[in-house]
Amino acid sequence: MLLSLRDVTKTYPGAEAPVLQRISLDLHAGEMLALTGESGSGKSTLLHLTGGLDTADRGIVAIDGTDLTPLDDPGRAALRRGTVGVIFQQFNLIPSLTVAANIAFQARLAGRYNPDRVQRLTTRLGLGDHLGKYPEQLSGGQQQRVAIARTLAPQPRLVLADEPTGNLDEATADTVFALLCELVAETGAGLILVTHSERLAARLGRRLHLRAGQLT
């Protein structure tokens, strides 16, 4: 089992109700899951817990059978470097690095930089002409492609995408989404996609809906 959540509960300090309540969930390698729900339903929180960006109050979050809960900051950082890749709605590129450096960045951090693979990714994502540019010189769609390339370059086992097309227009969103699914499928990694777009969610093999902190 690639990912396994058991009875995960999370309450933000000061909030009355838990944002996640006894969530249990399994995901196999190669499986693609769409997570939908209204704003505040806890889908981003679930993603953050899975990616080690945040910690659960109770329950177990295990990747490849290893529980993340007891990990300290360096341990969780190591997880984000190698095993899990996160794609953000805001792209979160490093503005002072070129496109090429941004794409290579996480793979270098993880010590898994492979020029051939990076080259393949840039070609597939149509970024070949933009390698010397800086993020601010790119359109939103292009920036998200750079972020996808950066995330996939170290070959993570699990890709977490938080509204990756939320800042893009519909046509661009479709193209980027298709590319993402295609590339993830090629690596055999698992994918959890958080979106509020029913249209995009419908295109993935498995769908879960969050409401008031519980899966329905």
Partner 1 sequence: MTRTIFSALFSHWRRNPLHLITLLAGLALGTALWSGVQAINAEARASYDAAAATLGEGTYAQIVAQDGAAIPQQTYVGLRRAGWLVSPVVEGDLGRVRIVGIDPLTAPRGIGPVSVGGGADLGAFVTGTGQILARADTLAALPETDATVIITPDVAPNTAIVDIGLAQRLLGRAGQIDRLIVLPEQPIKRRPLDTIAPGLIETAPPDSSEVARLTDSFHLNLTAFGLLSFVVGLFIVHGAIGLAFEQRRPMVRTLRALGVPLRRLIWLMAVELATLGLIAGLVGVALGYVVAAALLPDVAATLRGLYGADVSGQLTLRPAWWISGLAIAVGGTAVASAGALWSLARMPLLASAQPRAWVMARQGVALSMLSLTLLMLAGGLAIWGQGLSAGFIMLGALLVGGALALPPLLTLALRFGQARARSPVAQWFWADTRQQVPGLSLALMALLLAMTANVGVSTMVSSFRLTFVGFLDQRLASELYVSATDAAQAERIAAVAMAQGVVVLPILAVDAKVAGQPAEIYGARDHATYRDNWQLLRAVPDAWSVLARGEGVLVNEQLYRRADLDLGTMVPIAPGLELPIVGIYGDYGNPVGQVILNDAVFTRQFPDVTALRFGLRLDPSKVDAFRAALRDQAGVADSAMVDQAVIKAMSLSVFERTFTVTTALNILTLAVAGFAMLMSLLTLAVMRLPQLAPVWALGLPRRRLAALDLLRAVVLAALTGALALPLGLALAWALLAVVNVEAFGWRLPMYLFPMDYLRLGALALLAATLAALWPAWRLSRMPPTQLLGVFRNER
Tokens of 39: 């704003």
- Least distance to partner 1, CB of residue 101, Å: 7
- The string of DSSP letters for 85-145 reads EEE-TT----TTS-HHHHHHHHHHHHT---HHHHHHHHHHTT-GGGTTS-GGGS-HHHHHH
What does the per-residue mask of binding to partner 1 show for 140-159, with x meaning CB under 8 A?
A: x--x------x---------
Q: Does 131 bind partner 1 (CB under 8 A)?
A: no
Closest CA to 142 of 129, 160, 153, 127: 127
Q: Does 21 bind partner 1 (CB under 8 A)?
A: no
**Three-state SS at 173:** helix
What does the per-residue mask of binding to partner 1 show for 87-116, with x meaning CB under 8 A?
A: -x---xxxxxx---x---xx-xxxx-----
The interface region with partner 1, picked from 26-34, 70-78, 182-190, 205-213 by CB under 8 A, is 70-78
Give residues with Cβ within 8 angstroms of 14, minimum separation 6.
none
Tokens of 37: 């729900």
Closest CA to 106 of 136, 148, 71, 139: 148
- Least distance to partner 1, CB of residue 106, Å: 5
Tell me how far apart the alpha carbons of residues 22 and 175 are, in angstroms, rounded to a whole number. Answer: 35
- Residues in binding contact with partner 1, number by CB under 8 A: 33
Q: Does 81 bind partner 1 (CB under 8 A)?
A: yes
- Least distance to partner 1, CB of residue 76, Å: 9
- Write out the binding residues for partner 1, residues 157-186 only, by CB under 8 A: 167, 169
Tell me how far apart the alpha carbons of residues 55 and 211 are, in angstroms, rounded to a whole number. Answer: 20
Is the Cβ of residue 180 or residue 204 nearer to partner 1 in the bound state?
180
Closest CA to 178 of 144, 135, 139: 144
- In the list 74, 115, 116, 216, the residue contacting partner 1 (rule: CB under 8 A) is 74
- Least distance to partner 1, CB of residue 189, Å: 16
Tokens of 202: 């419908």
Is the Cβ of residue 93 or residue 159 nearer to partner 1 in the bound state?
93
Residues contributing to the site for partner 1 (CB under 8 A): 48, 53-54, 73-74, 77-82, 86, 88, 92-97, 101, 105-106, 108-111, 134, 139-140, 143, 150, 167, 169
